[in-house]
Amino acid sequence: MSSMLNLQFNNLCKRYRRRTILVNLDITLRDGECTLLCGSNGAGKTTLLRIMAGLEKPDLGTIDFGFGQMKWRRCKKTLQEKIMYLHQQPYMFDTSVRKNLAYALPSGLSNAECSQRIDEALEWADLRRLATAPATNLSGGEAQRVALARAWLRIPLVLLLDEPMANMDQESRLRTHNLLRQLKDQGMAIIITSHDTMQFQSLSDRQLILKDGKISIELSTNQAENVTAFPLAQTSLHDTA
């Protein structure tokens, strides 16, 4: 993992035609910090992640990697290189699991090094038995593990996950949770969007609630636990969300 991360997105604004999605939104990311991003459908969670990953242009806003404020367009390439975005249903290239993992390897490695790194990633994500299987035939949970193994190989500064456990069975959720825990322990900053706050409470350091295009509430894990301990407070939180 590289040096201390202090990545700031400031004043992000985004509109789709007449609909306002994000309004002057500020967010800061730090090494090894796991952020849970909540909000109702259409609150702008996915849009925010895609802007952060350099996949979607904001109407306004600046980014600070620690070298001063820069416009999104100027640091789009850096964002794509340093930040990894995982779709709700991760995309698998139409080839084997092994080759899907190879795609995430940095260039310049020898064949032997590539093979060894892929073997390690297969072991890490418990995918060894699926190494030669067509990746497009994997179940949702298996595909998510391949996507996380690609992140493990690529080692981005920030990992963005859009509803990573939607439509997963309990076993797959546990496995995914464990893998995310290991990535976090490696120092990777992680942002997860989810409607199910309980699922990620043990993993997340803070919860952000997105409403009306802004972060309306920021809670530390302790505060979030207290909120979920009191049904009335939880209801009001969910209303807000």
Partner 1 sequence: MSSLSGATLDAISLLAGGDAQLWGIIGISFRVSTTAILIAIPPSLLIAFLLAYGRFPGRRLLISVFSTLLSLPAVVVGLTLYLVLSRHGPLGDWRLLFSQTAMVMGQIVLCVPILVAMGHSALQAADRRAWETARTLGAGPLRAVLTVMHEVRFGLFAALLAAYGRIIAEVGASMMLGGNILNYTRNIPTAIALETSKGEFAQGIALGIVLLVLAFILNGLLHYLQGKGRFAV
- Contact flags string 112-141 toward partner 1, x per CB under 8 A: ------------------------x-----
Q: Both tokens of residue 43?
A: 């609150």
Among 87, 177, 206, 211, binds partner 1 (CB under 8 A): 87
Residue 94 sits in the site that holds partner 1 (CB under 8 A): yes
Reduced to 3 states (helix: H, G, I; strand: E, B; else coil), residue 37 is strand
Residue 80 sits in the site that holds partner 1 (CB under 8 A): yes
DSSP, residue by residue, 67-126: S-EEEHHHHHHHHHHHEEEE-SS----SSBHHHHHHTTSPTT--HHHHHHHHHHHHHHTT
Nearest C-alpha neighbor of 214 from the set 60, 23, 50 = 23
Contacting partner 1 within 46-75 (CB under 8 A): 53-55
Reduced to 3 states (helix: H, G, I; strand: E, B; else coil), residue 168 is coil
Residue 38 sits in the site that holds partner 1 (CB under 8 A): no
Among 32, 114, 124, 154, binds partner 1 (CB under 8 A): 154
Minimum CB–partner distance for residue 209 and partner 1 (Å): 26
Handedness of CA 2, 26, 241, 17 (dihedral sign): negative
Among 16, 91, 116, 198, binds partner 1 (CB under 8 A): 91
Reduced to 3 states (helix: H, G, I; strand: E, B; else coil), residue 16 is strand
List interacting residues with partner 1 (CB under 8 A): 53-55, 80-81, 83-85, 87, 90-91, 93-94, 103-104, 106, 136, 150, 154
